[in-house]
Homo-oligomer: A and B are copies of this chain.
Amino acid sequence: KKKKKTRLSTLKSPQCGLPLQHSGKHCSTEPGETPDPVRTLVRLCVDRHYISVGEGNAELFRRGVSCSYGPLGLELRRNLLEQWWHSVTRSSAHVFGINTVNISGDTAAGGPEQLRIVESESFQRIFEKQKVSKEQLVQMLQELLLRSPPVRKNLFKGALEQFVPSLELVNGKLPFGLAETGLCFQPSGGSGCSANEVMQTSLVWFCSPRTSSQWLDHWSRQRLKWWRKFALSPSDFSSGDVPEEELEEVVSRGVRIMYNFPWGQEPLETLWIRGDTELLQKSHAVLTVLQCREDRKSVPHVVSVTGNLDRGMMAFLSNSLQQLKKVNGRQRLQQRNVLKLHPTLAPVKVALDISRGATVELRQVCEGLQQELMEAEVSVWPGYLKTLPTSVEHLNAKYDEMGVLFTMMISENTLESGLLKVRSRDTTIKETMHISEIKNFLCRYISAADNI
């Protein structure tokens, strides 16, 4: 609880209440001035189409809930979701993916603090009733509210409901898991009548009671390894046991994977040993079925692994932003921002640009190369479509902020010799390559980074 307060107060402090205009293409600051890292990150994310413009939207982003994402943010989220999914479902043959519904038919579930979806019109019709007393009106409204379907806060309940039908898949044998990713809704806390959405990831693992603690350790290690795999600075990701006093009643042990944001630590993923209580509540009619083969005398225990992918995305963006300072020709301190996202996560792998020249022919070369790369599932930024000429430094600065792995410059020379210049984001070194080698070079580079 204390942590939450710190975070909220930090977010409301003046340094974060930044005006969100489109900034210049790269900012230059006076020598000695230290740029605020949060401000720089948010501005870069807006300028480079990771998140959409708008103060409210940036606020959602910083709070670690879903916001409106631009093309680059969307691709980054797709890549992250894909990697999470692979890491969980391919780690063993015993994890199955499911997809449950957001709106529960079980209107009685959830209790009074539940968020529900209501049809405004049905309420209006009751409001307009003239001939009923205040008490009757309240009763009618209360009934309507209770008949309105609740929306889910997490994916846990849905997975419990799928436990019994999934037993057939594993021949009744433990352990096994059910994986799901999807939108969940949370009260936003602030003004009292708003809600936020979060892209959650969930693995619900069913195992014998005596192995649940080992499995918690196993999954904690696996998850931390996963987060660190894609980090530029892995030590910012950490894991730790949740203090006993913070545990819910049904939970016997918990571990949190944390990220060290500029404003403090926040949890990205949480693992709980939840015992068998909730599983028994959900499936009391089928108690006998629950007694699985491995351990006939007891009901399986549940280990839940729940993550917030929106906050995870912000963690990787924050982690990969490198701010380099250099003094430019006019003796001004210039800041270069490079978004060193992991090659697997980077939303754009390569930008294709043309230097001045016979643009029609050069564009055709670009289009051909783009087609070839897209077929190999390498995402391309069609910089060659830009009609206004830009200096090479501006272009490099822009692509570095976008996190583009390689910039390829097609020139007159390419038409004659097939050679083009390839600049790496991470080394800033320019190499000359033949156009026929490009596809293989990129595919090898990305898959090598993936297998480290």
Contact = CB atoms under 8 A, between A and B. Distances in A.
Interface of A: 49, 52-53, 56, 60, 66-71, 73-75, 77-78, 90, 93, 96-103, 105, 112-124, 127, 133-134, 137-138, 141-142, 144-145, 147-149, 151, 158, 161-162, 165-166, 169-171, 173, 183, 185, 187, 191-197, 367, 370, 374, 380, 382, 385-388
A123 B98 contact: no
Contacts of A158: 68
B117 A195 contact: yes
Given A68-B162, A170-B385, A114 B120 contact: yes
B98 A70 contact: yes
Contacts of A113: 119-121
Contact of A103 (B49, B93, B122, B196): B196
B193 A144 contact: yes
A99 B199 CA distance: 12
Quickly give the copy total for this chain: 2
Contacts of A112: 120-121, 124
B195 A103 contact: yes
A284 to B, nearest CB: 17
30 contacts: A49-B165, A49-B169, A52-B98, A52-B161, A56-B105, A66-B99, A66-B101, A67-B101, A68-B100, A68-B101, A68-B161, A69-B98, A69-B99, A71-B98, A71-B169, A74-B97, A93-B380, A103-B197, A112-B121, A116-B118, A120-B145, A122-B192, A123-B141, A127-B141, A133-B134, A134-B137, A144-B193, A147-B191, A147-B194, A149-B193
B193 A118 contact: yes
Contacts of A100: 52, 68-69
A194 B96 contact: no
A119 B187 contact: yes
Contact of A138 (B53, B78, B137, B196): B137
Given A74-B98, A171-B387, 8 more contacts: A52-B165, A69-B100, A71-B169, A93-B370, A93-B385, A103-B197, A113-B121, A118-B145
A39 to B, nearest CB: 20
A142 B120 CA distance: 9
> What are the 5 tightest A-B residue pairs by CB atom distance, in nearest-first order?
A134-B134, A71-B96, A69-B99, A74-B97, A74-B99
A166 B75 CA distance: 15
A286 to B, nearest CB: 12
